[in-house]
Chains A and B, each alone.
Chain A
Amino acid sequence: MVLKVVIVGAGIIGAACAFHAASAGLDVTVLDRGPVGAGTTSRGEGNVLLSDKEPGPELELARLSRTLWDEAGAELGPETFELQAKGGLVVASTLEGLTALGAFAARQRAAGVRAEPVDEVAEWEPHIAPGLPGGVSYPQDAQVQPVLAAAALLRAAVRHGARLLTGEAAAAVTGRGGRLTGVRTADGRVLPAEAVVNAAGTWGGELGRRLGAPLTVLPRRGFVLVTQPLPRMIRHKVYSADYVANVASSGAGLETSCVVEGTPGGTVLIGASRERVGFDPALDPAVVARLAAGACGLFPFLRDVQLIRAYRGFRPYCPDHLPVIGPDPRAPGVVHACGHEGAGIGLAPATGALVTAQLLGRPWRGADPAGYPALLPDRFLTSGGAPR
């Protein structure tokens, strides 16, 4: 008996879940109301990062994911989704900042991350601002083109027998004992399923509610700036050291931290801002100005470079800034895989492997089904099952 799984969401997380579940021989249907990777997946730089993560369950997942991205590249061809192991360089602007960064990197090294002190950042990045005291290099940091990656993973899933359907999930259909038997779509179809994966990203809270397993997943708006195409001026992903502080922060207002990198197309990407303003789509020129100032501070030559595009996305985050991955105890058959905030691209393969392991009830591609208790939805529930 092959387990029937409906995966709701054809973004990077849903695509990675479909890739691993279909590779494991499960009967997979991917359902999305829109095209592949049209949500938050298409709105980011495609970061696959270890450098920005504190030791803990997310870093563990990121380490597994980094390996699985390489495996996916080997299987599908790294060029199909522009997998680039370009490496990251985190630079401090002050001696105090460098000391703090050094301590952070030491803890990451203890957790298995390659993090190497850099004295002369100009040797790594010839066009960087003069006078910076130093930094840390993270050779494992990488990048993919997220929409191409989602499309490639889904194509591979389809080769393994998965189906891709357009439609909107409306409700879970349950049989005896509350066991899931299918997913009802908004246009009245019922897709037979013994399990449904919530990979709806920023809309994961709403989908959870429809499936009888409500979650709190909130949008955190971000802008990324794109410059005119240039000859290769920036070699790595270059961050200012305050990036680390901001990603883990839960402060309310605008936060920006400077992330600058080149792309194969020649454009330079400048991130990243984080704001809690709901789903407000409006561009905020003050945010653009702050990002521009940060980038010009790191790379002065950017002052004369034209900004040609900005894009905006809504990162999905849970109240404790960790993704929620695993079966929901309130609704048998419902498995969550959302809330990855700004790390969804990087964490996607390991999320897909972990969900597959949980569905199989045995390890899959290095993911132990019982391996990440801190990411289970149980953490948001009281012992009686009510939301905490």
Chain B
Amino acid sequence: MGESVDLIVVGAGPAGMAAGATALAGGLRVALVDAGTTVGGQFWRPPPEHARTPIPDADPHQGARAHRALRRALAEGRERGRLLLHLAHPVWSVTRDGEGFAVHAVDRSRDGAERAVTLRAPRLLVATGAYDRQLPFPGWELPGVLTAGGLQALLKGGGVAAGSRVVLGGTGPFLLPVATGLAAHGVKVVAVCEAAGPLGWLRHPGPLLRNPAKLAEGVRYGAALARHRIPVHPRTAITAAEGADRVTSVTLAALAPDGSPRPGTERRIEADAVGVGWGFAPQLDLLIPLGCDLVPAPDGNAVAAVDEGQRTSVPGLYAAGEVCGVGGAPLAVAEGHLAAASVLTDIAKATGRPAAPAPAARRLAALRARVRAHRGFARAMALVHPLPPAWGSWLTDRTVVCRCEEVTAGQVLAARTEHGAHDHRQVKQLTRAGMGWCQGRICGPAVHCLAAAPGPYTPAERLIATPVTLGALADLDTDREAADR
């Protein structure tokens, strides 16, 4: 269906936008597909028009200039008819289509019933990003306990603060912008609990010194935290949340080096909203069924294996951004540019016609250097902010691990010790953990740890990448029968 394109980009966040811009500049016709209703993804999530309070847009840490330039490039591409923008199009499957790819999405851009659509192109670039990695703890299923990213999204997307007294916990630098963002919005951030120690950077100073922008960013967040009087507790975790209908307090505990709570350090503080984030899990659902090779990343996730031009192991398939390893928006932008440059190079090689204008060798070298520097920083960040090895000691047998199917930690451990389950797939078969609405997207990393599975967390293969109505799929069949007649 539709007009033919040279490249489909799935995901319109920083990586996908950058890829689209470079591909357009190289003269390609591009389709950019995203589940959201605007470009920008989670990171550059614009406030909707009905936002209660406009969010200050002059946030210099967010690469606002790069963002504006990419938006301009994409808008220009649309005007010239070179960019087909498919927003509100969640993709439920990607399949091989001859030498190319077929992207199966549902169109939710119009009111009423969703409609299944298929886009085809000889080359595909997957930039589907990542989502908050969660670890369970007693009470984490209470209303008011959110992911750090969820708090951020409510704030950015709707101007909504999830509470008035917020506690943040987990590990990683992402907790800091969430804290300062909430504080700027008038929310009292009672505590930020960072599981890692404050001096971890001393063991990995190189990447920080080589990335002065990151150092400056850290200093800015430090100043903002001080200005808003937000206490940051290192080597501390939220080990429980309490409340009847919704969260009213959390228990904090100081952590021993292995991540287990130090006995006697527990204390309870009042809170009406909690945000938790243990880094991110890459969204690999479209890549795994295509047979894309994965490699372990330093944060414990399996990620898409790519060469220095962002080519995956599948010919014609490229990947950029968090799916290649969590590393933040500036890295994603560089990878997006680089991936699209590879697409241009590969098309030129295949057709014997150089792309116009060909990506300059100097620009490519600069992009590669940027990717290397950011990757080094991301690696150091992952080493400084690991999952605490003994986080499982926070759980009781009755703590819910899989919220969709209400499977407890006791059941997961029994699957391992009594039935010999060694990974999250076996645990799922035996306990239903990961069989519900979210298909293990939330509990998968935790179950992987609790099953004591060796190696990085590799998500289960999900043939249906996002829920889609049976009616839309059934119409696809009717359409085909009509076309056959």
Question: Interface on A for B, CB 8 Å cutoff?
Answer: 35-38, 42, 147-148, 151, 155, 164, 223, 225, 227-229, 265, 267, 270, 281-286, 288-290, 292-293, 295-297, 302-312
Contacts and interface: CB of A to CB of B under 8 A. Distances in A.
Nearest to A286: B480
Interface of B: 93, 95-96, 102, 104, 116, 118, 289, 291, 405, 419-422, 425-426, 429-430, 432, 435-437, 439, 462-464, 467-471, 473-474, 476-478, 480
Given A38-B426, A292-B477, 5 more contacts: A229-B436, A270-B470, A284-B95, A293-B477, A307-B470
B470 A283 contact: no
B106 to A, nearest CB: 10
Contact of A282 (B95, B436, B471): B95
A285 B476 contact: yes
* Residue with the highest number of chain B CB atoms closer than 10 Å, among A164, A267, A305, A307: A307
B473 A289 contact: yes
13 contacts: A35-B421, A35-B422, A38-B425, A151-B419, A223-B463, A265-B435, A265-B436, A281-B291, A284-B95, A304-B471, A305-B470, A307-B468, A308-B437
Contacts of B289: 281-283
Given A147-B430, A282-B96, A286-B480, A295 B470 contact: yes
Contacts of A225: 470
Given A151-B419, A293-B477, A305 B469 contact: yes
A290 B93 CA distance: 16
A290 B464 contact: no
A375 B116 CA distance: 46
Contacts of A303: 469-471, 474
B470 A296 contact: yes
Given A265-B435, A285-B118, A286-B480, A228 B467 contact: yes
B436 A36 contact: no
Nearest to A227: B470
Given A229-B437, A282-B96, A283-B289, A309 B462 contact: yes
A311 B460 CA distance: 11
B480 A35 contact: no
Contacts of B474: 289, 292-293, 295-297, 303
A284 B118 CA distance: 13
Contact of A309 (B96, B419, B463): B463
Given A38-B426, A310-B464, A312-B463, A285 B95 contact: yes
* Residue with the highest number of chain B CB atoms closer than 10 Å, among A37, A227, A282: A282
Contact of A296 (B96, B291, B471): B471
Contacts of B462: 309
A281 B468 CA distance: 21
A345 to B, nearest CB: 14
A265 B469 CA distance: 19
A309 B470 contact: no
A93 to B, nearest CB: 16
B400 to A, nearest CB: 16
Contact of B93 (A36, A281, A285): A285
B421 A265 contact: no
B116 to A, nearest CB: 8
Closest 5 CB pairs of A and B: A303-B471, A292-B473, A289-B477, A306-B467, A293-B477
A289 to B, nearest CB: 4
A227 B437 CA distance: 9
A201 to B, nearest CB: 16
Given A36-B419, A148-B430, A283-B93, A309 B439 contact: yes
Contact of A307 (B96, B291, B422, B467): B467
A285 B435 CA distance: 21
B437 A290 contact: no
* Residue with the highest number of chain B CB atoms closer than 10 Å, among A148, A285, A306: A285
A229 B402 CA distance: 15
Nearest to B415: A151
A308 B430 contact: no
A19 B96 CA distance: 43
A289 B477 CA distance: 5
A270 B464 CA distance: 14
A223 B470 CA distance: 15
A202 B289 CA distance: 21
Contacts of A306: 467-470
Contacts of A312: 463
Contacts of B435: 265, 267, 309
A60 B432 CA distance: 33
A314 to B, nearest CB: 14
Contacts of A296: 470-471, 474
Given A282-B96, A283-B463, A312-B463, A288 B473 contact: yes
A290 B479 CA distance: 11
Nearest to A223: B463
Contacts of A289: 116, 473-474, 476-477, 480
Contacts of B291: 281
Nearest to B291: A281
A295 B468 CA distance: 15
Contacts of B422: 35
A265 B439 CA distance: 13
A307 B464 contact: yes
A310 B421 CA distance: 22
A265 B405 contact: yes
Contacts of B439: 308-309
B420 A293 contact: no
A36 B420 CA distance: 9
B324 to A, nearest CB: 23
Given A265-B432, A307-B468, A35 B463 contact: no
Contacts of A267: 435
B187 to A, nearest CB: 34
A36 B421 CA distance: 9
A98 B429 CA distance: 38
Contacts of A297: 474
Contacts of B426: 35-36, 38
A14 B468 CA distance: 37
A303 B468 CA distance: 10
Contacts of B405: 265
A165 B220 CA distance: 58
Nearest to A308: B467
A303 B477 CA distance: 13
B483 to A, nearest CB: 12
B429 A42 contact: yes
Nearest to A266: B436
B95 A283 contact: yes
A265 B468 CA distance: 19
Nearest to A264: B432
B474 to A, nearest CB: 4
A295 B470 CA distance: 8
Contacts of B464: 307-310
Contacts of B102: 285
Contacts of A282: 95-96, 289
Contacts of A283: 93, 95, 289, 463
A236 B372 CA distance: 58
